[in-house]
Amino acid sequence: MYNLYFIHCDPNLKHVVVEGKTVWKNPSGYLPGRMAPLMNFYGFMSMAFIILGVFWFSQYARFWREVLPLQNCITFVITLGMFEMALWYFDYAEFNESGIRPVGITIWAVTFGTVKRTVARLIILMVAMGYGVVRPTLGGITSKVAMLGLTFFMASEVLELVENVGAISDLSGKARLFLILPVALLDAFFIIWIFKSLSSTLNKLQLDIYRKFTNALAVAVLVSVGWICYENAWIIPAFWQVLSFSLLCIICVLWAPSQSSMSRSVPEARSAHDSNGSAEADLEEEKTE
């Protein structure tokens, strides 16, 4: 933030009024100091998503006959991530070049990012429930999952629009304090439901892929809680972007399309269900929950 003071001590100038405007520019552009590193960060994240996309789409093209519905959702998230990172980069680049925040690009960047975060959370929740591995559908809880996702999208979209569209300051406004509360509560509900579903799925399936996924989520939550105790200016949004990208990479590795995509889920799921009782009983129990 910049402050400009006009000071005069001559009594004869007490009625002088100064009008006009000042233009402030850093050597690297118009971006405020704490926002400037984000332009390069989103440039690097765009490259990271491109590399992840090359890996994922190559696997997708090789084994397209074996692709599961869950893997189509992952493809959608990767595509959204590519657009989001590119739009944020162009948003900051235009702001840095002209000194004016491009409203249209910001709105698109916010919307792509909000859709990506919502779908990513829903994917993690569905994976935790065993969708695509032991459950062909979510059954009676589909409407509840969809309602949670829609509510989270609306709350996040409003928060991000208020915080970013037209904003040329690197300080958050007072409105953020009120808008961030519902988003935080919905995020907490997502986490509780995810770990509850993972615990139920692991008790029924003892699959190595789910143990790895649970460990990755546990590490992510611990790192998140630890980071809340130490947050630093521009690193705050960068950290959450890196964390979500890391989880997406882990999901892509664990659920990458392959020849065993279909066969991996059926035999293991069948043997696990046989060892823990009938599949029908398990499904009735999940519907009751």
DSSP string, 81-139: HHHHHHHHHHHHHHHHHHSS--HHHHHHHHHHHHHHHHHHHHHHHHHHTTBTTTBSS-G
Global pTM value: 0.75
- Average pLDDT of span 241-253: 86
Q: What is the pLDDT of residue 259?
A: 57
Look at phi and psi of residue 18 and say left if phi exceeds 0, alpha if psi is from -120 to 50, else beta: beta
Helices 175-205 and 103-128: angle between axes, nearest 10 degrees? 30
- Average pLDDT of span 183-188: 87
pLDDT in tens, 199-222: 877 776 666 777 777 778 878 877
- Average pLDDT of span 158-167: 85
Residue 241 has pLDDT above 90, yes or no: no
- Average pLDDT of span 248-252: 86
DSSP per residue over 212-255, as a string? HHHHHHHHHHHHHHHHHTS--TTHHHHHHHHHHHHHHHHHHHHT
Q: What are the structural domain ranges in the chain?
A: 1-204, 206-255
Q: How many percent of the chain have pLDDT more than 90?
A: 25
Q: What is the pLDDT of residue 165?
A: 86
- Average pLDDT of span 82-111: 93
Residue 193 has pLDDT above 50, yes or no: yes
Count, residues in the chain? 289
Residue 121 has pLDDT above 60, yes or no: yes
Q: What is the pLDDT of residue 244?
A: 87
pLDDT in tens, 269-279: 444 444 444 44
pLDDT band at 228 (very low <50, low <70, confident <90, very high): low
Residue 81 has pLDDT above 90, yes or no: yes
Q: What is the pLDDT of residue 271?
A: 46
Q: What is the pLDDT of residue 269?
A: 43
| Cβ contacts of 260 within 8 Å, gap of 6 or more | 66
- Tell me which of 137 and 210 has the higher pLDDT: 210
